[in-house]
Amino acid sequence: MYFLHREVKIMPWMIPTVLKNLFSGPATVKYPFEKKDPVPEMRGKLTWDMTNCDLCHDCERLCPVGAIVVDEEQKKITYDPFLCIYCRKCAENCFHKCIVVSVEYHEPNVKKGTLVFEKEEVPAEIT
Ligand code: SF4
Ligand code: SF4
């Protein structure tokens, strides 16, 4: 009986909130039919634009989890998105700005794998 009395006492305080929620729009989106835009500073997928990469190993050295392997001989960079903690340290310190951090995220995957970015051979200049 005490509880009932208490609830009745509280009810008037709740009325403005109930009315506000009744007439305002939903606070959530109808995922997966509707998706929110990612925030601009989101740390999403990493990709390498190898055009200006000089295979200096800086990104490999700075990566705290060893997600990057630079292969100078094969002129390629292997990146493991499953090891990456998306700290952006590599992208912020690449002298040639080769690492692009997008606002898209990797879809969940049942199979782990790596991404390989190869440096295309630049034809020697004819002199
Ligand atoms: S991506 Fe940048 S930091 Fe990494 S090897 Fe290439 S130039 Fe060096
Ligand atoms: S974002 Fe961080 S963890 Fe991911 S590859 Fe770059 S340095 Fe490594």
Residue 120: partners with Cβ closer than 8 Å, 6 or more residues away: 50
pLDDT in tens, 34-87: 888 888 888 899 999 999 999 999 999 999 999 999 999 999 999 999 999 999
- Banded pLDDT at 122 (limits 50, 70, 90): low
pTM of the model: 0.74
Mean pLDDT of the chain: 87
Cα of 86 from ligand 2 centre, angstroms: 5
CATH number belonging to domain 46-118: 3.30.70
63 C-beta closer than 6 A to ligand 2: yes
Q: Is the pLDDT of residue 7 over 70?
A: no
Smallest CA separation from ligand 2 atom 4, residue: 84
